[in-house]
Structure formats: structure tokens, C-alpha cells
């Protein structure tokens, strides 16, 4: 069992990181124009208008919550005089709402993909693999968030978060993750599977967001022909 823990929590994260980085670099080098959402809005837009904003907004909030929960040590919040009970309540409220929104939005999008024939026919093999992994990862994360207050005194900030930060120190704390509850381990494994699939799926469009449009200079249009003067206003006096 010790060797399995080392493989899962000490070796596998770096394998996933190498696969994620090399796959992303390969896509940008050889398939840059293939990085797209493969939008199916022309086939159906009513369900898309509901599911897409709900899913993407919830997913952004989930990512922000993970960044705070995994990267900010407990000692930092104690220095800011944020009590543990207040932190847990905020994490439960914000994380629960974000997780439910992302999972509900994904459910609408999957129902749309199954129900609308044209959208279903446009589904590719990588989508059939990516969507279940994404749904399972979101469900496991939501379960971990909702079950955290009733867990047997387990504090993920002293376990999962310590393991996550130790990966960047190139000294993985395998025992910190090996003693985590099963729901946290499942969520971590599904998250790594998702990042391993990321470069080879439509999730790559997250790196192609047109952020530059917000900062580009104005485009000035000029007519090629001679400018036509506006007509003179008519006189209101009677002849």
C-alpha cells in the first residue's frame, strides 16, 4: 500500500503536469487553429443561453475557491483574525453555491447535447470521455464541500492543502494525502485525470479567450471613395 500511495500522490501529479504542459505546447505549435469551442449555437440556443453562463460562472468561482483553499495556509487566515468557524461557513456557502451552479449548468449542457440531434451528432470521442470525468470531478468536489462540516474532525487545510503545496516544493507529503478521506482522494484523482485530458479536448479553448480585445486600440474606418457632403437643410420659409 505504501508503494501505491507514493505512485498516486508522489509520482502521478508530476506525470500529469508533464502531460498537461507538453500537450498544451503541442496544440499551440501544431493545432493552433483547432483550439476552439466547436460552438453548436446554430443548432440550438435556448438551452445554451441557460446552461453556458451558469456552468462557466460556477466553474470560475470553483477555481477561485480552490486557489484560496489550497494555496492559502491556515496560519495566514489566523493572522487576519478569520476564525476557523467563519472560514468553514464561508467555504460551505460560497463553495456550495458555486459547485451547484457549475454542476447544474453542466447538466443542462449535457441534456442539450443528448436531446438535440444535431448537437449530439457533433459530439466527438474526446467529448464522450471528457464530459463524464468533468461531471464526476465536480460531483466529488461538491460532495467534499457539503460533507466537510460533518466529517470526523478532518481539516483539509491541514491535509490536502499541505500535500498540494508540497508538490511545488518538489517534496510531496504523501502521508498528508494518504490519510485524507476517500471523497477527497477521489476528487484529487478525478482532477488529475481532467488535467491530463485537458490538452486533447475542447477545454483548451480556455487558453484562447480573446482577452486582448479589451485592450486593443480603436479601429478607425475610412472610406476609399470621396466623402459625400451631407445634404443642406431645407428652408422652412414658404415661397
DSSP summary character for residue 34: G
Which residues 6+ apart lie within 8 Å of 148 measured at CB?
A: 88, 91, 92, 154, 156
Three-state SS string over 173-191 comes to CHHHHHCCCHHHHHHHHHH
Q: Which of 113, 138, 128 is nearest to 59 (CA)?
A: 138
Q: Which residue has the cell 507514493?
A: 6
| Cα separation, 216 vs 173, whole angstroms | 45
SS3 state of residue 164: helix
The two most distant CA atoms of the chain are separated, in Å, by 104
Q: List binding-site positions.
A: 56, 66, 187, 205
| Cα separation, 198 vs 191, whole angstroms | 10
Q: List binding-site positions for heme b.
A: 56, 66, 187, 205
Distance of CA 139 to the CA centre of its chain: 14
Which residues 6+ apart lie within 8 Å of 163 measured at CB?
A: 9, 172, 173, 174, 176, 177, 180
| Cα separation, 157 vs 169, whole angstroms | 17
Residues 174/10, Cβ–Cβ less than 8 Å: yes
Amino acid at each position: 500500500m505504501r508503494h501505491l500511495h507514493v505512485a498516486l500522490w508522489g509520482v502521478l501529479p508530476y506525470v500529469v503536469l508533464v502531460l498537461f504542459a507538453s500537450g498544451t505546447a503541442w496544440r499551440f505549435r501544431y493545432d493552433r487553429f483547432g483550439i476552439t469551442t466547436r460552438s453548436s449555437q446554430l443548432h440550438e440556443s435556448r438551452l445554451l443561453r441557460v446552461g453556458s453562463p451558469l456552468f462557466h460562472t460556477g466553474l470560475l468561482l470553483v477555481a477561485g475557491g480552490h486557489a484560496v483553499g489550497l494555496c492559502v495556509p491556515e496560519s495566514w487566515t489566523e493572522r487576519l483574525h478569520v476564525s476557523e468557524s467563519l472560514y468553514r461557513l464561508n467555504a460551505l456557502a460560497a463553495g456550495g453555491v458555486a459547485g451547484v451552479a457549475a454542476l447544474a449548468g453542466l447538466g443542462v449542457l449535457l441534456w442539450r447535447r443528448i436531446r438535440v440531434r444535431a448537437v449530439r451528432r457533433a459530439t466527438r470521442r474526446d467529448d464522450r470521455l471528457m464530459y463524464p470525468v468533468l461531471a464526476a470531478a465536480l460531483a466529488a468536489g461538491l460532495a467534499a464541500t457539503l460533507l466537510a462540516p460533518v466529517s470526523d474532525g478532518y481539516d483539509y487545510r491541514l491535509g490536502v492543502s499541505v500535500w498540494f503545496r508540497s508538490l511545488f516544493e518538489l517534496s510531496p507529503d504523501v502521508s498528508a494525502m494518504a490519510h485524507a478521506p476517500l471523497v477527497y482522494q477521489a476528487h484529487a484523482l478525478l482532477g488529475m485525470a481532467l488535467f491530463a485530458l485537458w490538452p486533447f479536448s475542447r477545454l483548451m479553448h480556455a487558453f484562447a479567450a480573446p482577452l486582448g480585445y479589451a485592450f486593443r486600440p480603436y479601429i478607425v474606418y475610412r472610406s476609399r471613395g470621396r466623402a459625400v457632403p451631407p445634404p443642406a437643410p431645407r428652408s422652412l420659409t414658404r415661397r
